[in-house]
């Protein structure tokens, strides 16, 4: 087993051998009594392993159509099946003339040796069957499924397995690459290459080339040693390596990986040098010393392991002293799992950082600005045909220096949950969601801003109290459906009970009195005593129904399937006073299309809204008959509230509005593919109460030739509670090809409310057959205070070898939707990934 490819840049390929079992001479066949081995040469750099380049697919479109060494006419076609069975096949020998003696035959003129996918041709071959000496001279040609080469002379001894080959030129077949060597000396599994080169460029335009005056190879050990290797771009040497080892096959080995370079306003010149340690076949380690001119030295380490039942990875970083922060800093992150059996798995995802500004300083991503906490989880999870279950615990750490621990979610220590659902006969389905969890919370260290504007702790501590919660929600439904309709009535019962710490229960009671207009200072001890065991129990009934209509239609010369899909969803839930229930993990859902069909408008179990409401919605689609592509989809829906919904998130907040009888905001979503290049989309929410929009989003994408793309988006959101603008942003990103070699990339992400950019990226990309260069300048918001950071990234992609510099591909894929044209989504993916530890009971029918 292998944790994954992680190897230093290799220089040469593994040696292979071919044994002759029988021979055939034209025009009269003869049989050679002794075996003759033909040696494909150990050649070149980076033959054996994938190039350690960026995620962007390598583009060879700018390369000449012809190979450095065209295919030999006499050679058999490459056949992987024949390559795998070559050791069991005989070797056929053909030639124009046979002379010499029985013990020392000499073949002259168009000599050809063939076995499976292997071929070797030469002008002259002499072989001493008694001593094992051989000499091949003139126009030596060899090819198999992976390599093609020419040489001037080869001589050696089959008995001692010693060989010398001179004046070599080669072309890789299984992957692009070519080069040369003055000579190769082989002694068994050990060999030496003299004055060898490797490049993936065309020989007429060697934009880059890797060369070494001497390379020693050990095939049994699986490594080579290069001395005085030089990487040149054009005629300029850009890297010199006096001595290092490297692998020649898929066995990993200890060595240097390619360095990482960048420049930023906060870190200064940033250089990282990964060092790989091949500790065992199933675990390895990568140590990266990193020097930042403005901060100092940081040591990062990545340890990986893999075994039959699971895998894991431990990432650590340590900085003895950060010059900008004047303190020691570090991080730790572990991710891994272990499969207990076919149903159960143990998982852990643990994270820790030394201080609240670590993510701001070292995340180097725009999303790092919004990451105010880190979550660590460990648990045991199971799944079967009709059930899921888990026992887990988590803990949160604050990573935003402007906030206090009040912003952290409650820790769940532990949490036991399970779901079960199954069908009964033709008519019924039943299931249950159950959860038992203990909530704890870190105490709050109060903060203030000092004279320099920095946040510092006051020394005062505010205690936080928790409790336990049991939530059970069984349900039964009767799904009725036909070819073009469905009706699904569902009845559920939700029971939620708590065991609270006395201090939390009393605090909730004081807030209840304040909300009722009673001064807690004048209340009696009995009035101030809170309920430590509150509970809530209520039924939830829903009816979901819909119809599908479709017809064939013609627009111009194109045939479409036009659908009309009306849907009704009725929900009825009685009101329960929940003012004595705490808020552990419950928030209000953001109103959206999906919220039209949920049975609760709250996440978590601390609140369950009362409801007497009907959702009316309709969707229509135009589906192209030829290929099934959706030309147009449009949806619109609204909730009608027949009664006020009085359940609140915070009962002590008199300003929190209730959902009043009437109409909700209209929710509309449209996606339209104008043609194969233009795609438009829009999401819109119109609030009839305020007669204005709550949300508006317009997005457009245009696909340019040569993998180019332009994205334009506008986003607006209003806070319905305060009627104030919450977000107003414009976003332009593009990859614009000027010609096949040059392209421009950029992004301008602007906040109209703050009157400042959130991220600006400008860059240029140059591409050739074998080399690509990307240069990016970036300015982005680095913290919640709105401070900006500047950075410059430069990357050289040596196609077929590796990349040098910073990983610009990762930055561009995040900033430009559809970059690489492998993800042509119109709506960007959410920055918040689905958490497989969470099972939402509100999604159960």
The dihedrals phi and psi of 721, each to the nearest 5 degrees, come to -70, -40
For 305-368, the DSSP string reads EEETTEEEEEEEEEEEEETTTTEEEEEEEEEEEEE-SSSEEEEEEEEEESSTTHHHHH--SGGG
Nearest to 711 by CA among 740, 735, 737, 727: 735
> What Å distances lie between residue 827 and 442, 594, 681, 701, 815, CA to CA?
37, 15, 8, 10, 13
Please determine, for residue 425, whether its predicted confidence score (pLDDT) is greater than 70: yes
* Confidence tier at 158 by pLDDT (50, 70, 90): confident
CB 216 within 8 A of CB 225: yes
Mean model confidence pLDDT for the chain: 84
Span 177-216, pLDDT tens digits: 888 889 888 787 777 888 888 888 888 888 888 888 987 8
CB 664 within 8 A of CB 643: no
Q: Could you count the other beta carbons within 10 Å of the beta carbon of residue 382?
A: 16
CB 394 within 8 A of CB 377: yes
Measured CA to CA, the distance from residue 756 to residue 749 in angstroms comes to 9
pLDDT for the residue 840: 56
Of the chain, the percentage scoring pLDDT greater than 70 comes to 87
Q: Could you count the other beta carbons within 10 Å of the beta carbon of residue 339?
A: 14
Span 391-403, pLDDT tens digits: 999 999 999 888 8
pTM of the predicted protein model: 0.78
Q: How many CA atoms lie within 13 A of 347 on its CB side?
A: 14
Whether 393 maps to a domain, the answer reads: no
* Confidence tier at 24 by pLDDT (50, 70, 90): very low
Domain boundary at 161, 185, 209, which?
A: 185
* Confidence tier at 371 by pLDDT (50, 70, 90): low
Please determine, for residue 659, whether its predicted confidence score (pLDDT) is greater than 70: yes
Which DSSP helix (H) or strand (E) runs through 809? helix 808-815
How many domains does the chain divide into?
2
Whether 170 maps to a domain, the answer reads: yes
Please determine, for residue 97, whether its predicted confidence score (pLDDT) is greater than 80: yes
Beta strands in 132-282 (DSSP E): 133-143, 147-157, 162-172, 178-187, 190-198, 208-218, 223-233, 236-247, 255-256, 260-264, 268-272, 275-280
Mean pLDDT value across residues 43-49: 32
Domain that holds residue 782: 693-845
pLDDT for the residue 821: 67
Cα 264 from chain centre: 24
Domain boundary at 122, 157, 185, which?
A: 185
The dihedrals phi and psi of 90, each to the nearest 5 degrees, come to -80, 165
pLDDT for the residue 352: 95
Whether 790 maps to a domain, the answer reads: yes
pLDDT for the residue 384: 94
Which letter, b or e, does each residue of 295-308 get, where b requires 16 or more Cβ atoms within 10 Å of its Cβ? beebebbbbbbbee
* Confidence tier at 333 by pLDDT (50, 70, 90): very high
pLDDT for the residue 240: 81
pLDDT for the residue 481: 93
Mean pLDDT value across residues 228-253: 76
Please determine, for residue 494, whether its predicted confidence score (pLDDT) is greater than 70: yes
Which DSSP helix (H) or strand (E) runs through 505? helix 502-515
Whether 406 maps to a domain, the answer reads: no
Tabulate helix, strand, coil % of the chain (nearest 5). 5, 55, 40
Lowest-confidence region among 47-51, 293-297, 631-635, 743-747: 47-51
Of the chain, the percentage scoring pLDDT greater than 90 comes to 46
Whether 599 maps to a domain, the answer reads: no
Considering only residues 493 and 56, tell me which one the structure prediction assigns the higher pLDDT. Answer: 493
Whether 326 maps to a domain, the answer reads: no
For 469-488, the DSSP string reads EEEEEEEEE--EE-SSEEEE
Lowest-confidence region among 378-392, 553-567, 612-626, 768-782: 768-782
Please determine, for residue 47, whether its predicted confidence score (pLDDT) is greater than 90: no
Span 292-326, pLDDT tens digits: 999 999 999 999 999 999 999 999 999 999 999 88
Measured CA to CA, the distance from residue 599 to residue 840 in angstroms comes to 11
Whether 492 maps to a domain, the answer reads: no
Domain boundary at 185, 209, 234, which?
A: 185
The 3-state DSSP class for residue 74 equals coil
Whether 667 maps to a domain, the answer reads: no
pLDDT for the residue 781: 84
The DSSP bridge partners found for residue 479 are none
């Amino acid at each position: 087993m292998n944790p994954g490819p992680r190897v230093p840049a290799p220089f040469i390929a593994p040696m292979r051998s071919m044994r002759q079992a029988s021979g055939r001479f034209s025009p009269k066949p003869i049989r050679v009594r002794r075996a003759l081995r033909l040696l494909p040469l150990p050649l070149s750099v980076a033959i054996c392993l994938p190039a350690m380049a960026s995620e962007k697919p390598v583009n060879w479109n700018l390369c000449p159509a012809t190979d450095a060494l065209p295919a030999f006419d006499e050679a058999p076609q490459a056949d992987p099946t024949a390559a795998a069975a070559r050791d069991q096949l005989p070797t056929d020998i053909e030639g124009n003339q046979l002379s010499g003696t029985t013990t020392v035959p000499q073949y002259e003129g168009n000599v050809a040796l063939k076995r499976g996918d292997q071929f070797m041709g030469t002008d002259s071959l002499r072989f001493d069957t008694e001593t094992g000496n051989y000499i091949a001279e003139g126009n030596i040609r060899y090819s198999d499924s992976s390599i093609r080469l020419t040489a001037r002379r080869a001589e050696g001894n089959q008995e001692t397995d010693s060989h010398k080959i001179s004046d070599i030129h080669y072309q890789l077949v299984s992957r692009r690459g070519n080069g040369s060597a003055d000579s190769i000396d082989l002694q068994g599994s050990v060999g030496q290459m003299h004055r060898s080169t490797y490049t993936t460029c065309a020989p007429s335009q060697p934009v880059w080339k890797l060369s070494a005056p001497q390379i020693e190879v050990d095939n049994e050990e699986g490594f080579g040693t290069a001395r005085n290797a030089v990487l040149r771009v054009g005629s300029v040497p850009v890297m010199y390596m006096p001595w290092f080892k490297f692998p020649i096959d898929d066995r990993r080995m200890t060595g240097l990986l390619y360095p990482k370079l960048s420049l930023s306003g906060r870190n200064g010149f940033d250089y990282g040098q990964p060092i790989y340690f091949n500790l065992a076949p199933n675990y390895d380690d990568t140590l990266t010393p990193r020097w930042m001119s403005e901060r100092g030295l940081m040591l990062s380490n990545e340890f990986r392991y893999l075994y039959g039942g699971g895998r894991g990875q431990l990432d650590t970083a340590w900085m003895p002293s950060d010059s900008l922060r004047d303190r020691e800093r570090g991080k730790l992150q572990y991710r891994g799992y272990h499969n207990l059996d076919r149903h159960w798995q143990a998982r852990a995802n643990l994270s820790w950082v030394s201080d609240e500004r670590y993510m701001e300083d070292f995340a180097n991503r725009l999303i790092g600005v919004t990451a105010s906490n880190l979550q660590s989880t460990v648990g045991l999870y199971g799944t079967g045909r009709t059930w899921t279950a888990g026992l887990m615990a988590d803990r949160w750490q604050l990573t935003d220096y402007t906030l206090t621990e009040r912003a952290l979610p409650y820790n769940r220590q532990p949490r036991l949950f399970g779901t079960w659902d199954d069908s009964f006969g033709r008519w019924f389905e039943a299931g249950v969601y159950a959860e038992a969890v203990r909530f704890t919370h870190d105490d709050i260290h109060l903060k203030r801003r000092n004279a320099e504007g920095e946040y510092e702790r006051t020394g005062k501590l505010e205690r936080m109290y928790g409790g336990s919660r049991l939530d059970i929600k069984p349900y039964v439904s009767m799904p009725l459906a036909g070819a073009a309709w469905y009706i699904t009535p569902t009845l559920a019962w939700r029971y939620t009970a708590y065991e609270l710490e006395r201090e939390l229960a009393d605090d909730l009671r004081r807030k209840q009195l304040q909300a009722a207009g009673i001064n807690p200072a004048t209340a009696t001890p009995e009035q101030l005593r809170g309920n430590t065991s509150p509970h809530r129990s209520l039924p939830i009934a829903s009816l979901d129904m819909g119809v599908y209509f479709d017809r064939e239609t013609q627009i111009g010369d194109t045939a479409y399937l036009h659908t009309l899909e009306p849907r009704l969803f009725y929900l009825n839930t009685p009101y329960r006073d929940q003012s004595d229930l705490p808020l552990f993990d419950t928030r209000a859902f953001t109103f959206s299309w999906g919220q039209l069909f949920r049975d609760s408008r709250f996440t978590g179990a601390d609140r369950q809204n009362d409801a007497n409401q009907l959702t009316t919605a309709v969707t229509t689609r135009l589906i192209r008959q030829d290929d099934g592509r959706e030309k147009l989809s449009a949806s619109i829906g609204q909730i009608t509230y027949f009664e006020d919904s009085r359940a609140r998130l915070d009962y002590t907040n008199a300003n929190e509005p209730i959902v009043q009888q009437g109409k909700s905001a209209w929710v509309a979503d449209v996606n339209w593919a104008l043609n194969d290049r233009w795609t438009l989309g829009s999401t819109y929410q119109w609030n009839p109460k305020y007669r204005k929009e709550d949300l508006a989003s317009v997005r457009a994408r245009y696909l340019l030739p040569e993998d180019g793309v332009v994205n334009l988006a506008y986003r607006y959101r209003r806070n319905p509670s305060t009627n104030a603008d919450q977000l107003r942003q414009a976003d332009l990103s593009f990859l614009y090809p000027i010609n096949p070699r040059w392209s421009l990339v950029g992004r301008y992400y602007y906040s109209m409310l703050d009157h400042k950019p959130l991220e600006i990226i400008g860059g240029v990309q140059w591409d050739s057959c074998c080399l690509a260069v990307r240069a990016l300048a970036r300015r982005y918001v680095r913290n919640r205070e709105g401070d900006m950071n500047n950075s410059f990234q430069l990357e050289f992609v040596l196609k077929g070898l590796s990349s040098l510099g910073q990983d610009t591909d990762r930055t561009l894929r995040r900033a430009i939707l559809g970059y690489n044209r492998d993800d042509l989504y119109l709506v960007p993916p959410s920055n918040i990934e689905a958490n497989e530890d969470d099972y939402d009971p509100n999604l159960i029918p």
